[in-house]
Amino acid sequence: MEKLSHFLTLKDLTQQQFLALIDLAKQVKTNPAQFSQALAGKSLVTLYEKPSLRTRVSFDIGIAKLGGHSVYLDQNNGALGKRESVADFAKNISCWADGIVARTFSHKTVEQLAEFGTVPVINSLSDMYHPCQALADFLALAEQFDDLSKIKLVYIGDGNNVTHSLMIAAALAGSEMVVICPEGHFPDGKVVQETQEIAKQHGGSLVLSTELTAAQGADAVYTDTWISMGDNVSLQDIEAKFSPYQVNQQLMDSLQLNFFMHCQPAHIGEEVTQQVFDGEKSLVLVQAENRMHAQNAVMITLLGNL
């Protein structure tokens, strides 16, 4: 299997590489002791242009559990690209660190870190993709369903970075995916086209719709906030358009939707109700826990000692 150099978007992965990461993540989760020295002697810089709870904590603790060391960088010591160029930043960090984990506004910034640095770069969320999230989410689905190529995953809400990565993950797994958005809020057209090509190769499908009925019988329904970090809109501007797309118990029951998923942070009362978010079919905390296992699998694959 070809070795991965970076983890910027799931589009860069073959089906074999994607499924191997899920398998490794399962092993890391069930047998952590076996991997306790996988990053011994390795240091990673974890860099943030935007706020984070899950990503920051799951990377910091995950790196420690693999015997490595992480250095947290926020924007207080000079914003990325302002005090010095992204290229110089990447070249300097590569002098000391064995890897870079980056959460950036623009996807171009993670691409530049990878281009000008000399160490593996992991995208921990950009405006276009959230591959660590989708990998963790598919680990959660793989724990519920033996055959990912037989599931129907439905995303309802704003077509955003999380949607893009989920679409690609579903295509790589050969799953059926339906993305339901209000008019004007569909995922990026180029990503849709590329994803449909990947899906075709693996017997999967990607369908877009504005109709909630397209969710009928989903094995899992996923939603995310209507406004993402860096979006320049107010809730007032979009609320009327998005309200009919709220995931609530009535929707879950009437369309026979099975599991509920959300990357978090959630805006309760907007994209989802408290009842569904906390319901017995909610996988949200499994997804959060799996962030660490999935990311550890990525780091072991990119720069591990094993």
Q: Which residues are catalytic?
A: 103, 130, 133, 224, 263, 291
Q: Which of 124, 161, 195, 273 binds ligand NVA (CB under 6 A)?
A: 161
Binding-site partner at residue 228 among ligand NVA, ligand CP, none, CB < 5 to 8 Å by type: ligand NVA
Residues in the chain: 306
Binding of residue 54 to ligand CP (CB under 6 A): yes
What does the H/E/C string look like for 241-287? HHHHHCECHHHHHHCCCCEEEECCCCCECCCECHHHHCCCCECHHHH
Contacts of the segment 104-110: beta carbons below 8 A, 24+ positions apart: 104/47, 104/49, 104/50, 104/80, 105/49, 105/50, 105/230, 107/8, 107/9, 109/49, 109/80, 109/81, 110/8
Distance CA 251, CA 256 (A): 8
Q: Which of 133, 163, 195, 296 binds ligand CP (CB under 6 A)?
A: 133
Binding of residue 165 to ligand NVA (CB under 6 A): no
Of the pair 133, 195, the CB lying nearest ligand CP is at 133
Whose structure tokens read 């799996």?
290
> Residue number with the shortest CB distance to ligand NVA?
228
Q: Which of 66, 93, 97, 125 binds ligand CP (CB under 6 A)?
A: 125
Token pair for residue 1? 């299997």
Of the pair 40, 285, the CB lying nearest ligand CP is at 285
Binding of residue 224 to ligand NVA (CB under 6 A): yes
Give, as ranges, the residues between 108 and 127 that touch ligand NVA (CB under 6 A): 125
Of the pair 94, 161, the CB lying nearest ligand CP is at 161
Q: 10 Å Cβ neighbour count for 118?
A: 10
Q: Given the rule CB under 6 A, which residues bind ligand NVA?
A: 125, 160-162, 224-225, 228-229, 263
Q: Given the rule CB under 6 A, which residues bind ligand CP?
A: 52-55, 125, 133, 263-265
